[in-house]
Structure 1
């Protein structure tokens, strides 16, 4: 069978969701990346207890949607290991467009938050665009293997990095947890705070509320 895989470039559209309003009283802007199986509009419910006058939350939407059995709810996925770099470049262009549309002021605190698969998107985007967040929050997800301490050297010494995970996470055994903790320490050094909690692979709302 004589098959050839070819590649094209085209223009596409995608949604994103926001919580609260960006105004003169806003102190902190959040850029939050959901995990596999989520939609951005529903992921925002984990941030609903933040002070609405001081916090503005932007949730980009993963591009690949699919049905989740057995109730056929719609979820989404950021990337797979097939053609990862092309997929990531498309996501980079999409997030660039989101931030350009939002016009984020430079005088606000910026929190970059990744949950589960969203950790890989958050860390890749931050390093490739060399953003300077006030806090970088890595919740229950793995840091991409291609990233090294050199990728994060540009970060301000005042940037605080939070590594959050559940001690009963069904996707993380003790060996994997130790590997991720050690790697995060090598990447972030004194910037890092490790915040385990007793729980499974779930979003920890209490930690979110305590980030500001």
Structure 2
């Protein structure tokens, strides 16, 4: 049997993304929100529907890899990355996120919120580290910080940038050892700009935190 050779093909790819509300002169807050494993952007963005529509504009990129959830082939989920060809796929995702951001560029006067939830944390942080994008609030919500990132990847952030690490106290995916490791890594990367927010709940989006931080800005 001949050995298998794996090659690469470069081609143009088109993907969707979801937006909530319409930007206008009164829009104060700009949100870039990366969903977690199993979501579609059009459903994940519903977690922001309670925000004031005249003050907020939400952009939710769509993970490129779709799959059927369950054996009834009824519900569709999506994934950002897997362990297969991770480095290559990461670059594809970063180029996509950068294109979405260019298409939906916030104004200089808007407060920028970058939020990653669960699997969305890793792609958001890698995109920020590579493209040096600024924000006022970085929200790391119930997800893992990539181990390859270092302090030097985020020295470009403005002194006023705040980083929020958010997780549920009953999150089934965050055991004590992992929590300790993630808190240490977050502190190493972001230092005194880091705030920890623990809420009552499991692996779920904290709409209360989103509502609170939006109302404070």
TM-score when scaled to structure 2? 0.95
Residue 212 of structure 2 corresponds to residue 210 of structure 1 = yes
The 8 Å contact of residues 98 and 127 in structure 2, kept in 1 or not, is answered as no
Shift of 1:106: 2.3
- Per the alignment, in what secondary structure is the counterpart of residue 120 of structure 1? helix
The residue correspondences of 1:107-122 to structure 2 (distance < 5 A) are: 107-122=109-124
Greater shift in the superposed pair: 128-137 or 88-97: 88-97
Name the CA distance, whole Å, in 1 between partners of 2:113 and 2:180. 25
The residue correspondences of 1:64-103 to structure 2 (distance < 5 A) are: 64-71=65-72, 72-103=74-105
Shift of 1:150: 1.1
- Per the alignment, in what secondary structure is the counterpart of residue 213 of structure 2? coil
Counterpart residue number, 2:61: 60
Name the CA distance, whole Å, in 2 between partners of 1:195 and 1:73. 32
Residue 39 of structure 2 corresponds to residue 38 of structure 1 = yes
Where does the alignment leave 5 or more consecutive residues of structure 2 unmatched?
none
The residue correspondences of 1:9-24 to structure 2 (distance < 5 A) are: 9-24=10-25
Aligned residues: 212
Shift of 1:167: 1.1
The 8 Å contact of residues 118 and 141 in structure 2, kept in 1 or not, is answered as yes
Where does the alignment leave 5 or more consecutive residues of structure 1 unmatched?
none
- Per the alignment, in what secondary structure is the counterpart of residue 43 of structure 2? helix
What whole-Å deviation, never above 9, does each CA across 1:61-100 have from its counterpart, x for those lacking one?
Answer: 0000001115531000000121112111111221222122
CA RMSD of aligned residues (A): 1.1
TM-score when scaled to structure 1? 0.97
Name the CA distance, whole Å, in 2 between partners of 1:132 and 1:100. 13
